[in-house]
Structure 1
Amino acid sequence: MDTPLTLLSGITFARVPYWFPFFDYRDLKMDIILPFRPDEEGKRPLLVWICGGAWMTMERSAHLPWLMNFARRGYSVASVEYRMSNSCHFPGQLEDIKKAIRYLRAHAGEFGIDADRIIVGGESAGAHLAAMAGVTNDKREFDKGEYLEYTSRVQAVIDYYGPASFTLKAKDAPEINESEQPDFLKGPSPVAMLLGYEPANDPEKADTAAPLSYINPSTPPFFIAHGTQDIIVPIENSDALCTALEKNKVPAEFWTIQGAGHADSRFYQKEMADRIMDFLERVLKREKGME
């Protein structure tokens, strides 16, 4: 018999400066999919999901239908908000994600979460933040705010077509006709909006906001997926990320989808969710010393 599930919507996990810094505040919220009676189910691994949107917009409920695949297979799922680039520059967004992880760990007993099995994942800009949360596991300088007695460490990362570097140049970047260019790319660069400067003007500083700069042998395992025809975030980003992980002997699985563009619907089929969960089953067992 399938476990009955429930959606807890609009849970506040932090309050952050929003209008003018320290003049007004807003709540950051999350939606959580849990068993209807979590106290009867035992502890579940948790997937923290981060929606993309060029760090300029996001909708935390956008992927909940697809994320139900994980909830039905025994995961709890939290889809979380973070501040947009018109509110603060990086690393504020990463700090928000780590706040969410610490909040969930602090309330693990209430929500029936296994605090030793937390996975972070996301797509596009959300994948950048998920990857950054993973590769900065041991970097306490990004932990700000409440629940600092809890760690923001994660045990695995799901990276859907995220930027791994802001200075990497695509080898065969296709020419984009202006008429085909998405509206959000016609103004200032979304990366410049995130960082507060163009990466080319300070590449060394830009590298401190990129996952590729932090990979080391203690980096958690990665599941990576990218489309070969992505004109927004070229696939070279994931190629470079996977290569760096392999050099550091970090478990990684990299799926390329031939002909797929950015945010292609083929990423959001049950088949992809099953591949991710098969990967997570292996790496979480290894984390527990069961293999």
Structure 2
Amino acid sequence: MLRKIAKRAVLMVLLLLLGLGLWAWASPWPSVLLIRHMWPVPTAEQVEALEALEPGGVSVQRDVVVNPSDKDARIDVYRPEAAGNAALPTVVWVHGGGFVTGSKDGMDTYLAHIAAAGYTVVAAEYTVAPQARYPRPVEQVSAALDFLVAHASQYGIDTGQMALGGDSAGAHIAAQTAMAVSDPTYAAEAGLPRPDLPEGLQAVVLYSGAFDLTLVRETTGVGRWLAESMMWAYTGSKDAASDSRLEWADLPEHVSSTFPVSFISTGPGDPLLSHSQSMARSLEAAGADVETLWFPEAPSSIGHEYEMDLRTSEAKASMKSMIAFIRAHLDTSVPLSTPSDSW
């Protein structure tokens, strides 16, 4: 009797494993669920340390609805309280998460530092994959830009001075949106919307982005599995790097001199370092203005999205450099000091 039960149990396990294997072969969902489970979550100590660095005097209006028919079309608006109702230059930020996870929540400390310098800062939400696929996030960020222009007086937006920023997957989405804004031919050929910004974009900030799809083929081991799983979920193509339909998402191949002046950075330990370097080289070759920050002498612990951990000297130096870049290209009518000025 016990032998029969044991055989049945083994058979059930084998059938379950076979079913999971077939599911993983046919769908990106098993890999996505595993990646979401593996995704690093800040410890209570890290959260407490970052909250201690959060500047005061910044108000936040959360979950402003951009599109009532799209549950993920929401934004958070950060404003320096000292600015009152003044229209301020605006930085719209797109969060990371490998296209398959993450949200705008948890960005308070980082984005408040930018707002404290005299800017309106907007954190844009988008639908992660595979619930939505390329180019839906680009469309959602574009819709957020149009919304901000249409409601500029309500949210203190200077529509003539706008910038886009993003980290990791958000850097790809922000960069592709910027390409659509600044290059009508690219937008038309790629089938992307063009936000109607009165003066276009004045600047772009890109951290730890995944820009060059051809580099996916060069990764090995766990890195290749992660990259291929994320791109499969985001694009719907199991071999995204070889899919001709996704040509326009391979950003370094399509940049032009019209791309807004940009600030590009990541850490030396970032497995996507070559993506940022490829994007910077391509922009420079196209005649666009690029400022980079690499920290080649830093330890490997300064890696992907290093800029978010403001406890490190490299992240603090990056914040100072990034705010200096923003100040150079967005002229606020309410110039304020921000904590990073004394770092």
Asked if Structure 1 and Structure 2 have the same fold, meaning a TM-score greater than 0.5 normalized by the shorter chain, the answer is yes
Identify if the C-alpha distance between structure 1 residues 211 and 162 changes in structure 2 by more than 3 Å, giving closer, same or farther. same
State the shift of 1:77 in Å. Answer: 0.8
- Distance (whole Å) between structure 2 residues aligned to residue 243 and residue 267 of structure 1: 27
Q: Specify the alignment match of 1:237 in structure 2.
A: 275
Indicate if the aligned counterparts of 2:266 and 2:305 stay in contact, CA closer than 8 A. Answer: no
**C-alpha distance in 2 between matches for 1:152 and 1:54:** 31
SS of match in other structure, 1:87: coil
Q: Name the residue aligned to 2:118.
A: 74
Which residues of 2 match residues 84-103 of structure 1 at below 5 A? 84-103=128-147
CA gap 1:5/1:266 in 2 versus in 1, 3 angstroms: closer
Aligned residue for 1:43?
87
- Aligned position for 1:213: 253
Contact 2:77 2:155 in 1 (8 A): no
Tell me if structure 1 keeps the 8 A contact 2:89–2:119.
yes
The answer to whether the Cα contact below 8 Å between 1:6 and 1:36 also exists between their aligned partners in 2 is yes
- State the percentage of identical aligned residues: 24
Within the candidate set 273, 293, 310, 1:255 is matched to 293
- Which runs of at least 4 in structure 1 moved beyond 6 Å after TM superposition? none
In 1: Cα distance, 2:72 partner to 2:284 partner: 39
Alignment counterpart, residue 282 of structure 1, candidates 306, 312, 328: 328
Residues of 2 paired with 1:224 and 1:41: CA distance? 31
Query: For 1:201-242, what per-residue CA distance to the aligned partner results, in whole angstroms no more than 9, with x for missing partners?
Result: 41x3222113213311111011001122222x2x11111111
CA deviation after TM superposition for structure 1 residue 249, in Å: 2.0
Give ranges in structure 1 of 5+ residues lacking alignment: 17-24, 286-291
- Aligned to 1:34, what secondary structure does the other structure show? strand
Aligned-partner Cα distance in 1 for 2:284–2:97: 29
| Paired residues of 1:69 and 1:270 also in contact (CA < 8 A) | no
Does residue 165 of structure 1 match 2:209?
no
Question: TM-score with structure 1 length normalisation?
Answer: 0.80
Distance 1:283 1:250, change over 3 A: farther
Mean Cα deviation higher: 263-272 or 235-244: 263-272
What are the ranges of 5 or more consecutive residues in structure 2 without an aligned counterpart?
A: 1-54, 332-343
The answer for the alignment partner of 1:7 in structure 2 is 60
Query: Deviation at 1:149?
Result: 6.1
- Select the residue among 199, 207, 228 that pairs with 2:240: 199
Deviations, residues 112-135 of structure 1 (Å, cap 9, x unaligned): 211111111111001110111111
Q: How has the CA–CA distance of structure 1 residues 266 and 121 changed in structure 2, closer, same or farther, with 3 Å as cutoff?
A: closer
**Using the alignment, how far apart are the partners of 2:305 and 2:148 within structure 1?**
27
Q: Highest CA radius of gyration, 1 or 2?
A: 2
Aligned to 1:133: 177
* Paired position in structure 2 for 1:19: none
2:180 is aligned with 1:142: no
Note if 1:189 corresponds to 2:229.
Answer: yes
Structure 1's 200 and 252: CA in aligned 2 closer, same or farther, altered over 3 A? closer
C-alpha displacement at 1:13, in angstroms? 0.7
On the 8 A contact 2:137/2:173 being kept in 1, the answer is yes
**Cα distance between partner residues in 2 of 1:130 and 1:149:** 15
Q: What is the CA RMSD across the aligned residues, in angstroms?
A: 2.8
Pick the structure with more strand per residue. 1
Distance, in Å, in 2 between the alignment partners of 1:271 and 1:219 is: 25
DSSP-derived class of the 1:229 partner = coil
